[in-house]
Amino acid sequence: MDPRFYPIPQTDPPRSPRDTLPTMYDLPSEDPEEPGLPDVFHDLQPQLLSATLRLRYYASDQIFTGTDLNLYYDVRHPLWHKRPDWFLVLGVPRLYDQMDLRASYVVWQEGVNPFVVVELLSPGTEKEDLGRYANLPPASSDLEIEAADSSPERSDIANGRSSTETPPGKWQVYEQILRVPYYIVFSRYTNQLRFFQLIGGHYQEQRLDSADPRIWIPELELGLGLWFGDYDGITRPWLRWYDEQGNWIPTDAERNQVLVQEAEQERQRAEQAERQLRQVVLNLLQQGMGKAQVAQLTGLSEAEVENLAG
């Protein structure tokens, strides 16, 4: 434990934790002892989640999406953190204090907890990512859920205690400390999507269609599902946002590509129409009509008739 942060000075009256506790400048995400991203998928998948997120009631500068960023969550243990693969926070500036890019996300500085967390399973992380559901099949029965929720450590974590004073696992942090409403876990190895919703103070797994798993989040008016397609040159199933009509939300690059394609199609239609009109003009002229007659018949000016005939 870093002695710089202990003891935390007290004043009378007490000052805000925002003023007395370490900030993101004291708590960055870089850790020289961590090897970094485990694979390219952990880099690309969060990018696609952020690139297809379009929220109707939040401006882009009033949401924050974090990727592989340290999330500091406990004022009593300022160095304790988790590093979600992707998370969404609503109602906070995109920039820290509307000025700086974030080096981490410090809950007691921001004042807002994540609304959605997505974890991408890796070998060796399943137990921590899935918590008490790690040994249960997807969409467990009510009996299995009840049994899973009886984990003995829940009460200690919920009361802010840890018998060994070691950091709790991701599941406990997301469910019992941060109380993240929507927790989503995806395995690229099995392409299995699991969805947990905070109900009555703890996560309950929600049933998904195994053939077409889709998660609708009403507060966002968006859904998250599995899309099979090419992203950044890699074709496979990807997690992606969709709209109320079930349409996959395009990235900016895809949107621009569509605009280019539509512009090209419009150019081709205009060329085809001009060729057809020219042929009509030539046919009328060959039948002995004068340019003034052709212009009157086609609605063109005589200059336009002359240009097409030429």
Give dist(CA 194, CA 206) in Å, integer.
Answer: 8
Residues 94 and 159 in one domain: yes
Residues 193 and 57 in one domain: yes
Range of the domain at 77: 3-249
Contact (CB, 8 A) for 252 and 272: no
DSSP secondary structure string for all residues of 126-179: HHHHHGGGTTS-SS--HHHHHHHTT-TTHHHHHTT--TT--PPPHHHIIIIIS-
Domain edge (last residue) among 208, 229, 249: 249
Residues 81 and 225 in one domain: yes
More confident position, 146 or 120: 120
**How high is the mean pLDDT of the chain?**
84
Average pLDDT value for residue range 35-40 = 61
With vertex at residue 135, the alpha carbon angle to CA 130 and CA 136, rounded to the nearest 5 degrees, is 90
pTM of the model: 0.75
Whether the predicted pLDDT of 157 surpasses 90: no
CATH number at residue 300: 1.10.10
pLDDT of residue 259: 80
Residues 113 and 180 in one domain: yes
Give dist(CA 281, CA 297) in Å, integer.
Answer: 10
Domain total in the chain: 2
More confident position, 80 or 142: 80
Give which of 273, 281, 276, 283 is closest to 299, Cα–Cα.
281
